[in-house]
Amino acid sequence: MKRAQQGTTRLVIGVTKEISKHIFLIVMALVSIYPVIWVVSTAFSPGQNLATGWHLVLWIFPIPNSPTLAQFQFLFNPKLISFSLWAKNSLIITLSTVVASLAVVLPAGYCLSRRVFPGRSSIMFSFLLPTMFPGVVTIIPLFLIYAHFHLVNTYLGLIIAYTVGSLSLSIFIMKNAFDGVPKDLDEAAKIDGASDIRVFWQILLPLTLPSIATVALWAFMGAWLDFALAHVMLENNNLWTLPLALYSFITATSVEYGTFSALSLLMAIPVFIVFMLFQKYLVTGLTAGSVKG
Amino acid sequence: MANPTEKNKDLRKILGQVARNKTAYLYVLPGLVGLIFLVLYPFAFDIWISFTNWNVYHNSRLGNLAYVGFKNYLLVFLNPTYGFVKISENTALWTIGCVLPTVALGLFLAIILNSKIHGKGIYRMFLIVPWAMPSFITLLVWRGMLDYEFGIVNKVLVEFFGPKSRVDWLGDPHYAFLSMVVANIWLGYPFMIIIFSGALQGIPNELYEAAAIDGAVGWREIRYIIVPLLKPTLLIAILLGSIWTFNNFNAGFLLTGGGPGISTSIFIVQAYNLAFMLFNFSESATYAFIAFLILATVGILWFRYTGVIGGGKKESQ
């Protein structure tokens, strides 16, 4: 009798625990996605000032009164704003950064992983250094240097800066990835007469594709989403990138949260999808092999 | 003491090695050149600016730039109108106030997600959304949600507690700081969940079972099994989290811009505002360099006392 009672008590405790875990997880999941819910409903509501066009469902969820695509149509209306121009600027800068970053990172990662040469570890350490510098420490002198070399208000200046900015992490991701490919494979291929370059293209690259994609993604995000540097370097609004445009919608004289939300979604969705696909590799890279996953 | 011939020999040896590893150096060269011209040189330049009087009235274009020694540092440290104490307090509070809750929340969520529970995959997917969304965008979204007049947070408050419950989230210094911290915790915990989940999966199940037999369940399990075993991961997470938070320009700038006044300003935001709002480059450089010194000191002490290296070297566990 007593034992049965104990059994039920334990069961009740177990169930309560399980339920409280679920409640906590549900609350945290809601907190996590709430801003996204807000952006989506603002993007599909008419009007700009946030106060109208939607109502609260279940006390906390904003739902548009009459869902509309007006905000998106406004963005794509060529007469009103220069969305297509800004998107083009962003694309040119971002894609160039990705290509430049891969061109620098792949050989460097390869050689730090496969070659032994004097100064190797100090070179590796120096690539890590920038992670310790507050970004602004270099932005200010960089602006003065760029002004001197007429690189302010140019794509090239930004592309170079973003490429270098992506190096610290990317070189480590690639070095770790190449380290993960057994050296026996290279040696076997070399015995069969393959050159170093062939080993690199035909063995190492295909085996490290996920990491290469991660490096590309990292460079892409650095350039696509940068605000601080672009804010300083691009004074001419014909050269603006999307983040500057986005910022201007809510800080200019008129606050246009509707347009802001629509543009946010357009900018964030591609990043979100790719990010979800590659998150595993990004974590490995970000912690640079120090944390075993 | 090396005599000239020995010196020559050394030099020849070095040159020989460089020649032998020509391709290796060639491969790392572009990255190194970029690093030197865009990171190290600007950094040195920044230190130099902090010893000059570079501002709107004195600069290289006007040709009246002068070396002023430690004047900027003395002014920042000794002149109370520069707000150095306030900004240091803010930065310390900001870093600790963001990192500790972020790590704790991330660890706690990772532990729950690691237990036997239904719907893990779905919860996980929702929980990492803040990390997958670009922080530049979500911070501006937070700014919209916290708007005094139109923001949804105040709307919901009014819904529940009546019209007098509005809070000036970004205009009142204390609430503004709180808003920044909360938004940054929101941005940070998903990453912690991910790295702690990875580390938790490395703990063998038998260990939990053996511990459970010895009575270590619930909080005790966390205290005596999980935390000690996760120590290396925890130390790395705290270090990385602190560096990122200390340097997080977006989170410090996009919500409040450091204001009202300097009430929510942290080092990095102050350096930015001084340079690009007031064009006082030398004072900005002074702030930036002080910030770097603080971070470097804390980082080195952290390395020394915990023995954790942030990257490159694999930890042998």
Q: pLDDT tens digit string along A47-100?
A: 766 666 778 877 788 888 888 888 888 888 776 667 888 889 999 999 999 999
% chain B with pLDDT above 90: 24
B17: left (phi over 0), alpha (psi -120 to 50) or beta: alpha
Better-predicted residue by pLDDT, A4 or A49: A4
Q: Does A56 touch chain B (CB under 8 A)?
A: yes
**Residue of B133, B169, B195, B219 to mutate when probing chain A, most A C-beta within 10 A:** B133
Higher pLDDT, B172 or A255: B172
> Could you tell me if B147 lies within 8 Å of chain A, comparing CB atoms?
yes
Task: Pick the more confident residue, B59 or A71.
Answer: A71
Residue A252 has pLDDT above 80, yes or no: no
- Measure the CA–CA gap between A48 and B316, rounded to whole angstroms: 56
pLDDT classification of B100: cutoffs 50, 70, 90: very high
Q: Tell me the two tokens of residue B42.
A: 């600007």
Chain A contacts of B156, Cβ < 8 Å?
Answer: 56, 59-60
Q: What percent of chain A has pLDDT over 90?
A: 24
Q: Which two tokens stand for residue B40?
A: 């190290």
Judging contacts by C-beta atoms under 8 Å, the chain A residues touching residue B21 are 115, 117-118
| Candidate ranges A65-79, B59-73, B172-186; pick with highest mean pLDDT | B172-186
Quick one: tokens of A259? 């347009």
For residue A287, what pLDDT is reported? 59
pLDDT grade for B4, boundaries at 50, 70 and 90:
low
Average pLDDT score over residue span A117-139: 79
List the single residue in B24, B35, B127 with the smallest CB-CB distance to A127: B35
Q: What pLDDT is stored for residue B188 in this prediction?
A: 93
Of chain B residues 57-96, which have a CB less than 8 A from chain A? none
- The CATH label, of 1.10.3720.10, 3.30.540.10, 3.30.70.360, 3.30.497.10, for the domain at B74-306 is 1.10.3720.10
- The predicted structure's pLDDT at residue B310: 44
The pLDDT score that the predictor gives to residue A2 is: 66
Does the pLDDT at position A257 exceed 90? no
Contact at 8 Å (CB) between A100 and A166? no
Q: Range with the lowest mean pLDDT among B18-27, B90-99, B102-111?
A: B18-27
Most confident of A269-278, B120-129, B303-312: B120-129
Q: Is residue A218 over pLDDT 70?
A: yes
> Bigger pLDDT: A161 or A10?
A161
List alpha helices for chain A, DSSP H: 2-43, 70-76, 83-114, 120-128, 135-148, 155-180, 183-191, 196-199, 205-207, 209-224, 228-233, 242-251, 257-286
Residues of chain B contacting A42 with CB distance shorter than 8 Å: 144
Amino acid at B197: S
Whether the ω angle into residue B260 lies within 30 degrees of 0, i.e. cis, is yes
The answer, yes or no, to whether residue A133 has pLDDT greater than 80, is no
- Where do the domains of chain A lie? 2-68, 74-286
Contacts of B158 (CB under 8 A, 6+ apart): B165, B166
User: Quick one: CATH architecture of A74-286?
Assistant: Orthogonal Bundle (1.10)
- What is residue B16's predicted lDDT score, i.e. its pLDDT? 82
* CA atoms of B32 and B47, how far apart (whole Å): 21
**Mean pLDDT across the stretch B46-52?**
89
Residue A113 in tokens: 């992983």
Name the more confident of B108 and B277.
B108
Letter for the amino acid at B159?
E
Nearest to A137 among B46, B131, B191 (CB): B46
Q: Which of the given ranges, A203-207, B12-16, B301-305, has the highest pLDDT on average?
A: A203-207
Q: How confident is the model at residue A183 (pLDDT cuts 50, 70, 90)?
A: confident
Q: Highest mean pLDDT range out of A27-36, A269-278, B228-237?
A: A27-36
Q: Which of A13, A19, A137 to mutate to test the interface with B (most CBs of B within 10 A)?
A: A137
CB contact under 8 A, B199 and A291: yes
Lowest mean pLDDT among A8-12, A108-112, B95-99: A8-12
pLDDT of residue A1: 58
Residue A289, pLDDT score: 41
Q: Which residues pair with A55 in a beta bridge?
A: A63
pLDDT at A140 over 50: yes
Is A141's pLDDT higher than 60?
Answer: yes
Q: Which helix (H) or strand (E) is A56 found in, with range?
A: strand A54-57
The predicted model gives B189-203 an average pLDDT of 87
Residues B13-40 pLDDT 10s:
878 877 778 888 888 899 999 988 888 8
Q: What value of ipTM does the predicted structure carry?
A: 0.82
Q: How confident is the model at residue B313 (pLDDT cuts 50, 70, 90)?
A: very low
Domain boundaries, chain B: 1-43, 74-306
Nearest CA in chain A to B231: A291
